[in-house]
């Protein structure tokens, strides 16, 4: 028997549709993320994330730039969502996340997008920046699963999530792929307008790990289930890598953590001298050494 995603079972028992109703209800007084704006998105009111009743997407397609266990031969089936619940001054995708590039789509469209990515041979459906559209994604999934969707689902998020929503995604999401952007609330407040970021991220990632465990990769090298963390090293040690890897190693030393070096001073970073350069080799090497020191071994380069 091959791998079967957990959502198949949830769908058969009828619980999947109950989860969808609960998630959609949250939109009525939006608390989909820790900002808890309280706006009625069912009436198209918009809060911090500038998003209304319908999901907005910027693009759909096989993506080969993700981590190798997600990409395999045929790519990760990425659906890029527009807008964001974080306010990162250095955003690496600011045209999509802050300038709202994209268009509104109904659940039928989302379902067709998922099915065409699966038909293309993508190894998973990768929801990129899904947090503020989690109920709309679930609505699309109902249609897609009914029509034969069967590949793992990747929840590729910034880590600033509501615990309530993540619990509703238990046995729906196969692979959680959250960022841990900072190891310090004050720094997160200054650069991403998220004053409780590190506290929130620790609690939601602990729940994600409880649900899916460490990243499981099959014999073909493809991820099927588990947690994959991303940590972008920032200039001047602003990402707080020491605190981040300490937390991650306590979660599990077998955690897959991609420590990324591709920071670029985008969007408004030019207004902040400390953000306004790429990282230097020493900063990256230091981040790797910190991870190794606490016993982490998976997901980053050791040389
Ligand atoms: S998802 Fe958007 S509207 Fe809802 S609480 Fe978060 S930022 Fe506010």
pLDDT digits (tens, 9 = 90+) for 80-121: 999 999 999 999 889 999 989 999 999 999 999 999 999 999
Q: Does residue 234 contact residue 276 with C-beta atoms inside 8 Å?
A: no
Look up the pTM and report it: 0.97
Residue 273: partners with Cβ closer than 8 Å, 6 or more residues away: none
CA gap 26, 28 in Å, rounded? 5
SS (H, E, C) 43-95: HCCCCCCCCCCCEEEEEEEEECCCCHHHHCCCCEEEEEECCCCCCCCCCCCHH
Residue from 165, 157, 138, 135 nearest 149 by CA: 138
Across all residues in the chain, what is the average pLDDT? Answer: 96
DSSP letter (8 states) at residue 30: T
CA gap 283, 237 in Å, rounded? 7
- Residue 5: pLDDT band (50, 70, 90) is very high
Pocket residue to mutate for ligand 1, from 24, 30, 40, 84, most atoms within 8 A of Cβ: 30
Confirm or reject: Cβ of 48 under 6 Å from ligand 1.
yes
Average pLDDT over residues 135-154: 98
- Residue 240: pLDDT band (50, 70, 90) is very high
Query: Which run of H or of E encompasses 257?
Result: strand 256-260
Confirm or reject: Cβ of 130 under 6 Å from ligand 1.
no
pLDDT digits (tens, 9 = 90+) for 165-191: 999 999 999 999 999 999 999 999 999
pLDDT digits (tens, 9 = 90+) for 184-213: 999 999 999 999 999 999 999 999 999 999
pLDDT reading at 303 higher than 70: no
CA gap 259, 241 in Å, rounded? 9
The whole-number pLDDT of residue 302 equals 61
């Amino acid at each position: 028997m091959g791998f079967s995603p957990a959502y198949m079972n949830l769908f058969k028992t009828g619980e999947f549709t109950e989860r969808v109703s609960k998630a959609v209800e949250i939109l009525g007084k939006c608390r989909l993320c820790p900002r808890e704006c309280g706006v009625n998105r069912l009436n198209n009111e918009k809060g911090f994330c500038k998003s209304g009743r319908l999901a907005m997407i910027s693009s759909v397609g096989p993506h080969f730039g993700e981590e190798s266990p997600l990409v395999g031969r045929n790519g990760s089936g990425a659906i890029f969502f527009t807008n964001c619940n974080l306010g990162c001054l250095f955003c690496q995708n600011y045209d999509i996340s802050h300038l709202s590039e994209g268009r509104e789509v109904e659940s039928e469209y989302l379902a067709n997008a998922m099915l065409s990515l699966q038909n293309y041979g993508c190894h998973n459906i990768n929801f990129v920046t899904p947090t503020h559209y989690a109920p709309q994604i679930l609505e699309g999934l109902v249609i897609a699963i009914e029509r034969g969707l069967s590949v793992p689902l990747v929840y590729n998020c910034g880590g600033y999530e509501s615990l309530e929503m993540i619990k509703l995604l238990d046995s729906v999401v196969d692979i959680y792929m959250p960022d841990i952007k900072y190891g310090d609330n004050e720094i997160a407040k200054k650069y991403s307008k998220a004053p409780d970021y590190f506290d929130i991220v620790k609690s939601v990632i602990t729940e994600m790990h409880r649900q899916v465990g460490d990243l499981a990769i099959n014999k073909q090298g493809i991820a099927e289930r588990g947690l994959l963390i991303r940590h972008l090293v920032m200039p001047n040690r602003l990402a707080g890598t020491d605190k981040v890897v300490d937390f991650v190693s306590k979660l599990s030393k077998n955690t897959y953590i991609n420590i990324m070096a591709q920071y670029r001073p985008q969007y408004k970073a030019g207004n902040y001298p400390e953000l306004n350069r790429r990282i230097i080799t020493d900063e990256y090497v230091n981040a790797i050494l910190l991870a190794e020191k606490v016993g982490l071994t998976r997901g980053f380069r050791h040389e």
